[in-house]
Amino acid sequence: MSDFTTKPRVDIKPKTQRPRLHKVILLNDDYTPREFVVTVLKGEFRMSEEQAHRVMMTAHQRGVCVVAVYPKEVAETKATRATDAARQKGYPLLFTTEPEE
């Protein structure tokens, strides 16, 4: 007979990590027209007029507003596209991203 004793084994299966989400953040500035901010929010982030207006006003009054959360790549692409749309019109409007806690 074998001298080895059979220990109960626990099958340790690494949990699949969900990709961390990143926030897209809208920053206020003194020059971009309100209506243009609303247009960009509707076009790039698929918001209704009402949602876009609320987000724009929050950034206008508080300085920043979280627009949405997405996987990192998507957040960065959308922030870049939205910022570029403003640059094409000569506005300083800025969207940034940061990891969600």
Q: Which residues form the interface with ligand TYC (CB under 6 A)?
A: 26-30, 32-34, 37, 56, 59-60, 93
Residue placing its CB nearer to ligand TYC in the complex, 26 or 75: 26
Least CB distance to ligand TYC at residue 94 (A) = 8
d(CA 79, CA 25): 8
Least CB distance to ligand TYC at residue 30 (A) = 6
Any alpha helices (H) in 24-90, and if so which ranges? Answer: 34-45, 49-62, 72-88
Residue placing its CB nearer to ligand TYC in the complex, 20 or 80: 80
Least CB distance to ligand TYC at residue 9 (A) = 56
d(CA 16, CA 90): 44
Instruction: Specify the 3-state DSSP secondary structure of 21.
Output: strand
